[in-house]
């Protein structure tokens, strides 16, 4: 060790000492932490959709179980234990099984093992014994597999028709109807059609044999999909994987948010952010123009500028409290007593909703837009303004024809940063209108089309809810990873755009970096 | 451009009227927006004010426990974030190659943009359970990382000069990453022996029975690490700005007099930039105090007042997020939560204002010293 020390003192030309290396290490550690976080989210978020092979495990005592290996931990003392996800919740030892690695005598991957995904509840794993069709005919063997796939396809189509019917015809009619009214003819027809569809979906069962030998019977309409992952080629799996990712992005959540997709959350996040941008941009630019171009540049303006800058550092939850007190209880409550008295005491605008959430976030991101726009305005050389004025332009013309067009990239940067910040904020939304589950998206074909009073779902809140408030955490965790990854990707892309835009701005104006 | 004809003069009057109108609108709108934004503090104060004439002893919410939890979480996150971010700032201001620095800054900016809910998720549901099961490994990691880094430096110095050039100081932030992974793997591998050697087998038993400390799964230390991660980028950005703003004449003068880079940094640049570094830490503290989702998801939300870093806590912000939606508007509970929000607002606003004033003063000083900042 002393030799190393001397070699080091002797050889380093400037004798940097240990502290320089520790500071280098802190850079490396920060980068490593960031990379590890992103890698974890990517692997776990995307890996969840991969149709993993199902292992058939034979234990030393002759017992068999079939499942997907999830992870392995070291036991206290010696040996390791492996967790298998075996599914089959109706069996006594269902869903998860811890197996000591030492007790495993054989692991096989039989091609015929079937993994069935249910619409609600856990998946099933076993051998296909056969199925009864909806007309009561019994099929077994290889023909059963094709028949099953066909039937599942038909069921999926029926389900889509039913959901469309519900969303486009029944829900609008029901919400329009006065409490005392009977059904309109249109509604009666829709109900009849709904029952027809429901009836067409019923019938037929699937019979599986679990690894332990038990027979499992499940009605076909309770199934989402069935696959034989061990028999799939890599290309099949890739297709299956992209299909699963696509369904995650486009479908609604099922089974209390522990299954299915996040489409309503994506929709809610995007809609809320758009509304927020529409509100924040005019006011932010107005305030920035006032502070930079119109106001007398004295002590007061400087103080106001510092105050606005500091508001960007005020915790977001404080904005949420403000939104709840002023927008929801204050303005919303007043609106309710004026316009929606007949619905009281159930509140219309006097509770959290899309409008209040986007207003709160607009307030939250206002400092971001103001600061970015001001930065852009301050970069524009005064000669430009003076030139315009000298040519006879009024101040309005100077601003609208010369200054603002030059500041557009800065405003855009501000907007993107604001959107990136707003998309990731969850704490204020918990107070002003986010919902665990909002079956109706806030936009539909029913007047006034955009329902500002509705609650909405949000990606960030979805992560929080799935991770902390779901009954079966092990099953919900992959979904939380995937949602978190999606959120991070959206925000990273937005921020990268802002960074490139700012770079472009600097290059175009040929100016050194600020500060 | 002659205004002789009546037509142009009337047009000019119109233009000027429009200009005056627009200026008035901008002024009104600008002042309106600024006032609306500043109204937040006034609103919170007004809502919390009735607490003053509330009969004492009705309900106090345990605000002190929440305030304690907030400060504890912020303190632990600063313990993690300050050395790392200041080290990174020092390295990138003094030693790092210019190219790498121009890449590192946006990367850390992206790190700052990571939403709190994602960091809280990873901390609360991935890191916390792992740490709970592997306390000994965590301890080994903390203890072995710094010597591991120094070992890298020592080994590099033993290499022939030709090889050393492949591992330049300017890129140490990058090539140390695989080395760190190696050190971590070694620490994890060694940890069972270390645990036996230092703590007689199991660190957790040693803590619980030897020291009488509770070990909760979601604890202050996990919160500190997660929030430290979230705070590092902002502290880094401000500290780096303060350090690289130091007039280069100072550093060059010191080095010309024979000081090493580290001596220059420690004796010349850091004293000059210390107000800026302090401001950076303050802004980091402000951010840590107000962060909601990380504490909410990683702290266990147990309002305890202990000094034990391995026990749970609850912060003001998390308390507000959980309890305010259920509180009856106008009731005493509601007012207490408003007071909590007011405290958060005042603390962050004051800290940030102070930091901003310090930074403004520092910039003026640099200009006087003849720098280009």
CATH classification of the domain holding B95? 1.10.3720.10
Task: State how far the Cα of A269 lies from the Cα of A309, in Å rounded to an integer.
Answer: 26
Query: 3-class SS at A430?
Result: helix
- How many structural domains does chain B have? 2
Confidence of residue B79 (pLDDT cuts 50, 70, 90): very high
From B16, B91, B245, residue closest to A26, measured CB to CB: B91
ipTM: 0.86
Is residue B173 within 8 A of residue B126, CB to CB? The reply is no
| Predicted local confidence at residue A487, as pLDDT | 92
Task: State how far the Cα of A62 lies from the Cα of A108, in Å rounded to an integer.
Answer: 14
- Does the pLDDT at position A252 exceed 50? yes
Query: Average pLDDT for residues A150-173, to the nearest whole number?
Result: 81
- Does the pLDDT at position A513 exceed 50? no
Residue whose C-alpha is closest to residue A264's, from A382, A167, A179, A360? A167
Contacts of A352 in chain B (CB under 8 A): 325
Same domain, B98 and B44: no
Confidence of residue B370 (pLDDT cuts 50, 70, 90): low
Chain centre to alpha carbon of residue A194:
31
Angle formed by the axes of helices A2-11 and B135-158, to 10°? 50
- Does the pLDDT at position B145 exceed 60? yes
| Predicted local confidence at residue B229, as pLDDT | 92
Residues 127-186, chain B, touching A (beta carbon < 8 A): 133, 145-146, 149-150, 152-155, 157-158, 161, 169, 172-174, 176-177, 179-181
Query: 3-class SS at A437?
Result: coil
Determine phi and psi for A87, rounding to 5 degrees: 70, -150
Query: 3-class SS at A294?
Result: helix
Query: Average pLDDT for residues B136-161, to the nearest whole number?
Result: 84
Confidence of residue A178 (pLDDT cuts 50, 70, 90): low
Q: Is residue B373 part of a domain?
A: no
Query: Average pLDDT for residues B322-351, to the nearest whole number?
Result: 86
Three-class SS of A77-101: CCCEEEEEEEECCCCCCCEEEEEEH
Place of tokens 């030709």: B162
| Predicted local confidence at residue A14, as pLDDT | 46
Same domain, B235 and B349: yes
Same domain, B17 and B120: no
Confidence of residue B55 (pLDDT cuts 50, 70, 90): low
Comparing B301 with A368, the larger pLDDT belongs to A368
Determine phi and psi for A104, rounding to 5 degrees: -85, 125
Same domain, B244 and B281: yes
What rounded mean pLDDT belongs to chain B? 84
Contacts of B292 in chain A (CB under 8 A): 315-317, 426-427
Q: For A66-122, how does the pLDDT look when each residue is reduced to its tens digit (9 = 90+)?
A: 888 887 877 766 778 888 888 777 777 767 888 888 888 888 888 888 888 887 777
Task: State how far the Cα of A77 lies from the Cα of B339, in Å rounded to an integer.
Answer: 52
**Least confidently predicted of A240-254, A367-381, A445-459:** A445-459
- Does the pLDDT at position A12 exceed 50? no
- Does the pLDDT at position B334 exceed 80? yes
Query: Average pLDDT for residues B115-126, to the nearest whole number?
Result: 91
Query: 3-class SS at A183?
Result: coil
The residue among B12, B15, B20, B30 with the most chain A CBs within 10 A of its CB, best to mutate, is B30
| Predicted local confidence at residue A35, as pLDDT | 92
Same domain, B73 and B97: yes
Q: Is residue B200 part of a domain?
A: no
- Does the pLDDT at position B287 exceed 70? yes
Query: 3-class SS at A124?
Result: strand
According to DSSP, residue A418 is labeled H
Same domain, B283 and B359: yes
Q: Is residue B185 part of a domain?
A: no
The verdict on a CB contact (< 8 Å) between A394 and B177 is no
Tokens describing residue B289: 């105090």
Same domain, B294 and B333: yes
**How distant, in Å, are the alpha carbons of A125, A210, B252 from that of A217?**
12, 11, 81
Same domain, B25 and B106: no
Same domain, B226 and B325: yes
Contacts of A286 in chain B (CB under 8 A): 26, 29-30, 33
Same domain, B265 and B233: yes
Task: State how far the Cα of A275 lies from the Cα of A263, in Å rounded to an integer.
Answer: 18
Q: Is residue B345 part of a domain?
A: yes
Comparing B204 with B278, the larger pLDDT belongs to B278
Q: Domain containing B24: what range?
A: 6-53
- Does the pLDDT at position A11 exceed 70? no
Q: For A287-329, how does the pLDDT look when each residue is reduced to its tens digit (9 = 90+)?
A: 898 888 888 888 888 888 888 888 888 899 999 999 998 888 8
Q: Is residue B156 part of a domain?
A: no
The verdict on a CB contact (< 8 Å) between B40 and A314 is yes
User: What's the first-to-final CA gap in chain A, in angstroms?
Assistant: 45
Confidence of residue A369 (pLDDT cuts 50, 70, 90): very high
Cβ-based neighbours of A20, under 8 Å, separated by 6 or more? B91, B94, B95, B169, B261, B262
- Does the pLDDT at position A271 exceed 80? yes
Is residue B111 within 8 A of residue B233, CB to CB? The reply is yes
Task: State how far the Cα of A134 lies from the Cα of A140, in Å rounded to an integer.
Answer: 14
Same domain, B110 and B14: no
**Least confidently predicted of A5-19, A66-80, A314-328, B145-159:** A5-19
Is residue B361 within 8 A of residue B306, CB to CB? The reply is no
- Does the pLDDT at position A15 exceed 80? no
Angstroms from B348 CA to nearest CA on chain A: 6
Confidence of residue A255 (pLDDT cuts 50, 70, 90): low
| Predicted local confidence at residue A13, as pLDDT | 46
- Does the pLDDT at position B34 exceed 90? no
The alpha-helical segments, DSSP class H, found in chain B are 6-48, 63-94, 98-113, 116-122, 128-133, 135-158, 161-164, 172-199, 203-205, 220-244, 248-256, 261-263, 270-290, 293-298, 316-323, 332-368
- Does the pLDDT at position B118 exceed 90? yes
* A412, containing H or E segment: helix A404-424
Is residue A321 within 8 A of residue A401, CB to CB? The reply is no
**Is the peptide bond preceding residue A344 cis, with omega within 30 degrees of 0?**
no
Contacts of B287 in chain A (CB under 8 A): 313
- What is the biggest distance separating any 2 CA atoms in chain B, rounded to whole angstroms? 101
**CA dihedral sign of residues A428, A433, A438, A442:** negative
Same domain, B316 and B242: yes
With left for phi above 0 and alpha for psi between -120 and 50, is residue A323 left, alpha or beta? alpha
| Predicted local confidence at residue B56, as pLDDT | 60
Determine phi and psi for A296, rounding to 5 degrees: -70, 125
**DSSP state letters, B256-318:** HTT--HHHIIIIIIHHHHHHHHHHHHHHHHHHHHH--HHHHHHSBT-------TTS-B--HHH
Q: Is residue B178 part of a domain?
A: no
Domains and CATH numbers, chain A: 55-250 (no CATH), 263-509 (1.10.3720.10)
Comparing A167 with A467, the larger pLDDT belongs to A467
Q: Which of B53, B73, B92 is the last residue of a domain?
A: B53
* A491, containing H or E segment: helix A473-509
Quick one: what percent of chain B has pLDDT higher than 70?
Answer: 95
With left for phi above 0 and alpha for psi between -120 and 50, is residue A193 left, alpha or beta? alpha
Is residue B117 within 8 A of residue A426, CB to CB? The reply is yes
Task: State how far the Cα of B37 lies from the Cα of A283, in Å rounded to an integer.
Answer: 11
Query: Average pLDDT for residues B1-15, to the nearest whole number?
Result: 68
Tokens describing residue A464: 């929080």
Q: For B219-241, how does the pLDDT look when each residue is reduced to its tens digit (9 = 90+)?
A: 888 889 999 999 999 999 889 88
Comparing B70 with A349, the larger pLDDT belongs to B70
Asked if B84 has any chain A CB less than 8 Å from its own CB, the reply is yes
Angstroms from A288 CA to nearest CA on chain B: 7
Confidence of residue B267 (pLDDT cuts 50, 70, 90): confident
Q: Which residue of A has its CA nearest to B288?
A: A315
Q: Is residue B123 part of a domain?
A: yes
Task: State how far the Cα of B238 lies from the Cα of A515, in Å rounded to an integer.
Answer: 10
- Does the pLDDT at position A495 exceed 70? yes
What rounded mean pLDDT belongs to chain A? 81
């Amino acid at each position: 060790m002393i030799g190393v020390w001397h070699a080091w003192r002797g050889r380093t030309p400037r004798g940097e000492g240990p502290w320089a290396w520790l500071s280098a290490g802190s850079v490396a550690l920060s980068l490593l932490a960031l990379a590890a976080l992103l890698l974890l989210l990517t692997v776990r978020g995307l890996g969840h959709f991969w149709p993993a092979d199902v292992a058939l495990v034979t234990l030393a005592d002759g017992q068999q179980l079939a499942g997907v290996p999830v992870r392995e931990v070291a036991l206290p003392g010696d040996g390791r234990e492996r967790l298998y996800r075996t599914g089959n919740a109706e069996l006594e030892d269902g869903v998860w099984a811890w197996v000591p690695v030492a007790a495993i005598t054989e692991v096989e991957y039989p091609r015929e093992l079937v993994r069935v995904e249910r619409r609600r509840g856990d998946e099933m794993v076993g051998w296909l014994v056969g199925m009864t069709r909806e007309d009561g005919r019994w099929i077994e063997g290889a023909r059963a597999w094709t028949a099953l796939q066909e039937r599942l396809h038909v069921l999926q189509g029926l389900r889509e028709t039913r959901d469309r019917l519900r969303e486009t015809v029944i829900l609008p009619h029901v919400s329009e109807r006065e409490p005392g009214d009977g059904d309109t003819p249109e509604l009666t027809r829709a109900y009849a059609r709904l029952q027809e569809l429901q009836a067409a979906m019923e019938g037929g069962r699937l019979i599986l044999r679990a690894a332990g030998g038990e027979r499992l019977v499940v009605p076909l309409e309770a199934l989402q999909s069935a696959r034989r992952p061990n028999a799939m080629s890599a290309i099949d799996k890739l297709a299956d994987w992209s299909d699963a990712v696509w369904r995650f992005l486009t479908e609604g959540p099922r089974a209390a948010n522990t299954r299915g997709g996040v489409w309503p959350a994506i929709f809610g996040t995007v809609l809320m952010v758009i509304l927020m941008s529409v509100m924040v941009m005019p006011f932010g630019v107005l305030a920035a123009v006032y502070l930079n171009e119109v106001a007398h540049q004295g002590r007061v303006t400087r103080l106001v500028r510092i105050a606005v800058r500091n508001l960007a550092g005020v915790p977001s939850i404080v904005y949420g409290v403000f939104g709840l007190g002023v927008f929801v209880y204050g303005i919303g409550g007043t609106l309710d007593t004026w316009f929606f008295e007949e619905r009281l005491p159930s509140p219309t605008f006097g509770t959290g909703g899309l409008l209040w959430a986007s207003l709160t976030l607009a307030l939250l991101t206002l400092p971001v837009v103001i600061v970015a726009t001001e930065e852009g305005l301050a970069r524009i050389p005064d000669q430009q303004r003076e030139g315009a004025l000298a040519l006879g332009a009024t101040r309005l013309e100077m601003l609208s024809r010369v200054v603002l067009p030059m500041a557009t990239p800065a405003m855009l940067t501000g907007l993107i940063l604001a959107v990136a910040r707003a998309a990731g904020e969850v704490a204020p939304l918990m107070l002003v209108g986010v919902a665990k589950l909002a079956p109706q998206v806030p936009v539909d074909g029913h007047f006034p089309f955009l329902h500002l009073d509705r609650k909405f779902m949000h990606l960030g809140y979805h992560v929080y809810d799935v991770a902390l408030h779901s009954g079966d955490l092990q099953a919900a965790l992959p979904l939380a990873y995937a949602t978190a990854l999606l959120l991070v990707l959206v925000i990273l892309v937005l921020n990268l755009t802002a960074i490139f835009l700012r770079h472009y701005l600097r290059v175009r104006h040929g100016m050194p970096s600020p500060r | 451009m002659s205004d002789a004809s009546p037509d142009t003069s009337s047009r000019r009057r119109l233009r000027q009227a429009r200009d005056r109108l627009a200026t008035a609108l901008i002024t009104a709108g600008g002042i309106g927006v600024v006032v609306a934004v500043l109204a937040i503090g006034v609103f919170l104060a007004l809502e919390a004010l009735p607490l003053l004439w509330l009969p004492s002893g009705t309900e106090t919410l345990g605000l002190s426990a929440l305030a304690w939890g907030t400060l504890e979480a912020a303190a632990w996150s600063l313990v993690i974030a300050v050395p790392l971010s200041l080290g990174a700032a020092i390295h990138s201001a003094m030693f790092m190659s210019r190219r790498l620095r121009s890449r590192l800054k946006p990367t850390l900016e992206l790190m700052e943009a990571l939403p709190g809910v994602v960091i809280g998720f990873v901390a609360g549901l991935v890191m916390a359970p792992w740490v709970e099961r592997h306390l000994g490994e965590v301890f080994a990691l903390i203890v072995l990382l710094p010597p591991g880094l120094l070992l890298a430096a020592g080994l590099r110095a033993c290499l022939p000069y030709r090889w050393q050039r492949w591992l330049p100081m300017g890129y140490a932030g990058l090539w140390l990453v695989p080395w760190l992974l190696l050190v971590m793997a070694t620490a994890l591998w060694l940890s069972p022996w270390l645990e036996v050697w230092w703590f007689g087998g199991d660190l957790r038993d040693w803590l619980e029975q030897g020291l009488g400390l509770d070990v909760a799964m979601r604890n202050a230390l996990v919160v500190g690490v997660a929030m430290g991660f979230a705070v590092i980028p902002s502290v880094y950005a401000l500290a780096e700005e303060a350090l690289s703003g130091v007039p280069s004449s100072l550093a060059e003068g010191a080095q010309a007099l024979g000081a090493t880079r580290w001596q220059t940094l420690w004796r010349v640049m850091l004293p000059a930039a210390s107000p800026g570094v302090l401001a950076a830490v303050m802004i980091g503290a402000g951010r840590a105090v107000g962060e909601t989702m990380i504490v909410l998801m990683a702290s266990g939300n147990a309002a305890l007042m202990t000094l034990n870093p391995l026990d749970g806590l609850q912060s003001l912000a998390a308390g507000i997020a959980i309890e305010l939606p259920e509180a009856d508007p106008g009731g005493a509970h509601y007012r207490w939560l408003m007071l909590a929000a007011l405290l958060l607002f005042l603390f962050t606003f004051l800290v940030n204002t102070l930091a901003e004033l310090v930074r403004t003063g520092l910039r003026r000083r640099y200009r006087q010293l003849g720098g280009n900042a």
